[in-house]
């Protein structure tokens, strides 16, 4: 590892810390400083003022704001989220430990699908710029971007589970199978492989197809657009002209030279666009009753479980910061200008 690379990575790690700090502070501002009384909304109007005060005191909400803030920061950093107010007062960290793997299991196949499909068709559209196929691909990308992800999910449900019932409608696994399935890591696909439970594995995969396809397809629009614009720019670069002047085949120029260079800006953008993926995951999870982070968040908001809500948003913030850091590392690995 060269010293410039090491410096780059250390700088990035140090930049991630203020980012996490800002995001956690943002959660705090949204949850405590914005108008609206979480306790009142949690308990409902019927509860007496004494009971509300008691709950405030239990949650430490009667202390000065700055004390609350530092307490909040400390609890977030130590991952001490407290217990859920509803559903048997389980520690929230345990609940999130089950939900996060579900979300990851949903997003990873979606990301792989969208990256492959989006980058290939974006590059192809760039190569054929201003030809019919380019306009076709662009129209497709605008269209999938414009269709609300939950609507796309619902349409898929109607087609593939109601009209032609070949795929399950919702959930992560058949309910019957859940009874004798004991999750270890809560990545169900992984768990079923570890246990050699092939029926469960098949069930997991068939449940995964529609949600991840929906999520992946919805993101493809953005990917095609990013790849295409960056590719067009890259194809006008001097080294492509120089390669053409050396008689390198066009295909090689587009898919080897230009595309490999396009990966660098695309990768930074993936890091930033990751937010879209998570936002999409919330809607996809709600549509397909997928018991992940997003659905958990929406459920807890409905139940007014404000401790769980702030913990969930905090975990999302961590997740985003870590992905962004990971993208920077990958970026350093791909771009030799940083590596050396």
Partner 1 sequence: MNEKNTHDNDIDQEYVVPQWQLDLDRVGFVRKIFLARKWYGGDWWFVVLSAFLLLFIIIIGIFPQWFAPYDPKAEVSSSLLAPGEAPSSFVLVANIDSDIKEFKEIASSKNKVGIVVASPSSQALREAVTALNDEAKAAGEPATYNPRPIRFETLEEGLEATAAGEVNGFIAAPAELEGIIEKYPQLEICGALREETAKGFIFGTNQIGQDIFSRIIWGTRIALIVGLSSAIVSILVGVPLGLISGFISGPFDRILTLLMDSLYSFPGLILAISIAAVLGAGIGNVIVAIAVLYVPTYFRIVRGQTLSVKQELYVEAARSLGAKPSTILWKYIFPNVIPSIVIIFSVNVADAILTEAGLSFLGLGLPPDTPDWGIDLARGQDYLRRAWWLITFPGLMVSMVTLAFSMLGESLSEILNPRLAEL
Partner 2 sequence: MMSNDKVLVQVRNLSVNYHTRLGPVSAVNDVSFDIYRGEILGLVGESGCGKSTLGKALMRMIMPPAKISSGAIIFDGEDVMKFDQKRLRDFRGRRISMIFQDPMTSLNPVQRVDEHLIEAIQVHEPKTVLENAQERVRTLIGRLGIQERRLRDYPHQLSGGMRQRVMIGLGLILNADLIIADEATTSLDVIVEAKLVDQLREIREEFGLAILVITHNIALVAEIADRIAVMYAGQIVELGDITNIFDNPLHPYTIGLLSSVPSIKLDDHEELYKMSGEPPNLTHPPSGCRFHPRCPEAMPLCSRFCPNMEEVVPGRWVHCWLYQDHPQKERSTIKVKA
> Is 133 a residue that touches partner 2 (CB under 8 A)?
no
Q: Does 166 bind partner 1 (CB under 8 A)?
A: no
The C-alpha atoms of residue 146 and residue 20 are separated, in whole angstroms, by 31
Token pair, residue 281, equals: 């995951």
321 binds, among partner 2, partner 1, none (CB under 5 to 8 A by kind): partner 1
The one among 5, 267, 276, 338 contacting partner 1 by CB under 8 A = 276
Q: How far apart are CA 55 and CA 53, in angstroms?
A: 5
- Which of 108/147 has CB closer to partner 1? 147
262 counts as binding partner 1 under rule CB under 8 A: no
In the complex, least distance from residue 261 CB atom to partner 2, rounded to whole angstroms: 6
Q: Is 309 in the site for partner 1 (CB under 8 A)?
A: yes
Report which of 176, 181, 179, 171 is spatially closest to residue 201, judged by C-alpha positions: 181
Question: Which of 3, 14, 34, 175 is the binder for partner 1 (CB under 8 A)?
Answer: 34
Contact 153, 216 (CB under 8 A): no
By CB under 8 A, is residue 96 in contact with partner 1?
no
> Counting contacts by CB under 8 A, is residue 302 touching partner 1?
yes
- Least distance to partner 2, CB of residue 236, Å: 9
Q: Does 148 bind partner 2 (CB under 8 A)?
A: no
Report 258-317 residues binding partner 2 (CB under 8 A): 260-261, 264
Q: Which helix (H) or strand (E) holds 300?
A: helix 293-303
- How many chain residues interact with partner 1 (CB under 8 A)? 64
- C-alpha span between 149 and 280 (Å, rounded): 7
Nearer to partner 2, 50 or 238 (CB): 238
If the CB atoms of residues 88 and 247 are measured against partner 2, the closer one turns out to be 247
- Residues 6+ positions from 257 with CB-CB distance below 8 Å: 239, 240, 243, 248
Nearest to 110 by CA among 5, 37, 219, 192: 219
User: Any contact of residue 35 with partner 1 (CB under 8 A)?
Assistant: yes
CB neighbourhood size of 102 (10 A) = 23
Q: Output 218 or 327, the one with its CB closest to partner 2.
A: 327
Cβ–Cβ under 8 Å, residues 145 and 223: no
Give buried/exposed letters for 164-191 (b at 16+ CB in 10 A, else e).
Answer: eeebbeeebbbeebeeebebeebbbbbb
Tokens of 278: 């998570």
- What are the φ/ψ torsions at residue 64 (nearest 5 degrees)? -60, 150
- Rounded to whole angstroms, the Cα distance separating 240 from 235 reads 6
- Asked whether position 200 contacts partner 1 by CB under 8 A, the answer is no
Among 65, 275, 322, 326, binds partner 1 (CB under 8 A): 275
- Binding to partner 1 (CB under 8 A): which residues in 129-148? 130, 132, 134-135, 138-139, 142-143, 145-148
Question: Is residue 272 a contact point for partner 1 (CB under 8 A)?
Answer: yes
Three-state SS for 179?
Answer: coil
Compute the distance between CA of residue 54 and CA of residue 76 in angstroms, rounded to an integer: 23
Return all residues near 131 (Cβ < 8 A) that are at least 6 apart: none
Residue 200 vs 315, nearer CB to partner 1: 315
- The stretch near partner 2 (CB under 8 A) out of 9-17, 78-86, 222-230, 254-262 is 254-262
Residues that bind partner 1 (CB under 8 A): 15, 18-19, 22-23, 26-27, 30-31, 34-36, 38, 41, 130, 132, 134-135, 138-139, 142-143, 145-151, 154-155, 157-158, 162, 169, 225, 229, 232-233, 271-272, 274-280, 282-283, 286-287, 294, 297-298, 301-302, 309, 313, 316-317, 320-321, 324
Using CB under 8 A, list all residues that contact partner 2: 237-239, 241-249, 252, 257, 260-261, 264, 334-337, 340
């Amino acid at each position: 590892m060269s010293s410039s690379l090491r410096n780059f990575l250390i700088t990035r790690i140090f930049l991630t810390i203020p980012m996490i700090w800002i995001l956690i502070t943002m959660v705090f501002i949204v949850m405590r400083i914005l108008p609206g009384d979480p306790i009142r909304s949690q308990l409902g109007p019927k509860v007496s003022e004494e009971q509300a005060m008691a709950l405030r005191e239990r949650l430490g909400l009667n202390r000065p704001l700055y004390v609350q803030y530092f307490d909040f920061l400390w609890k977030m950093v130590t991952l001490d989220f407290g217990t859920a107010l509803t559903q048997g007062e389980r520690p929230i960290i345990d609940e999130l430990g089950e939900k996060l793997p579900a979300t990851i299991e949903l997003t990873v196949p979606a990301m792989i699908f969208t990256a492959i499909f989006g980058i290939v068709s974006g590059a192809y559209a760039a190569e054929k710029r201003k030809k019919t196929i380019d306009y076709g691909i662009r129209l497709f990308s605008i269209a999938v971007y414009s269709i609300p992800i939950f609507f796309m999910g619902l349409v898929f449900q109607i087609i593939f589970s109601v009209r032609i019932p070949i795929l399950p409608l919702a959930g992560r696994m058949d309910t019957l199978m859940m009874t004798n399935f004991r999750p270890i890591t809560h990545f169900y696909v992984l768990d079923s492989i570890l246990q050699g439970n092939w029926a469960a594995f098949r069930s997991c995969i068939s449940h995964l197809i529609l949600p991840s396809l929906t999520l992946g397809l919805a993101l493809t629009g953005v990917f095609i657009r990013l790849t295409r614009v960056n590719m067009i720019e890259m194809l006008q670069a001097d080294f492509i002209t120089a390669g053409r002047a050396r008689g390198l085949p066009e295909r090689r120029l587009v898919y080897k030279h230009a595309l490999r260079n396009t990966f660098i800006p695309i990768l930074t953008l993936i890091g930033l666009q990751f937010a879209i993926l998570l936002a999409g995951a919330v809607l996809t999870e709600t549509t397909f009753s997928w018991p992940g982070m997003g659905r958990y968040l929406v459920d807890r908001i409905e139940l007014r479980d404000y401790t769980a809500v702030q913990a969930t948003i905090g975990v999302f913030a961590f997740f985003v910061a870590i992905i962004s850091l990971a993208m920077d590392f990958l970026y350093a690995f791909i771009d030799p200008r940083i590596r050396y």
